[in-house]
Amino acid sequence: MAVTDNDTLVREFVDTFNGKDADALAPFLADDVLFTAYGDAPVRGRDAVIALWKGVFANFGQIKFETVHQAVNGDVVIAEQIHGLALPGGKLAPVMNMAVYELRDGRIAAWRDYTNPAYASTLLHA
Digitized pLDDT (tens) for each residue of the chain, 126 residues in all = 444 699 999 999 999 999 999 999 999 999 999 999 988 999 999 999 999 999 999 999 999 999 999 999 999 999 999 999 988 988 988 999 999 999 999 999 999 999 987 777 888 777
Buried b (16+ CB within 10 A) or exposed e, 42-72: ebeebeebbeebeeeeeebebbebebeebeb
Region for 22 from its dihedrals, namely left if φ exceeds 0, alpha if ψ lies in -120 to 50, beta otherwise:
alpha
Is residue 105, in this structure, part of any structural domain at all?
A: yes
pLDDT reported for residue 5: 93
Is the pTM for the entire model greater than 0.85? yes
Is residue 54, in this structure, part of any structural domain at all?
A: yes
Is residue 104, in this structure, part of any structural domain at all?
A: yes
Q: Which domain holds residue 72?
A: 6-125
Is residue 1, in this structure, part of any structural domain at all?
A: no
CATH of the domain at 51: 3.10.450.50
CA dihedral 3, 6, 9, 10 (to 10 degrees): 180
pLDDT reported for residue 4: 62
How many domains in the chain? Answer: 1
The rounded distance, in Å, linking the Cα atoms of 12 and 111 is 15
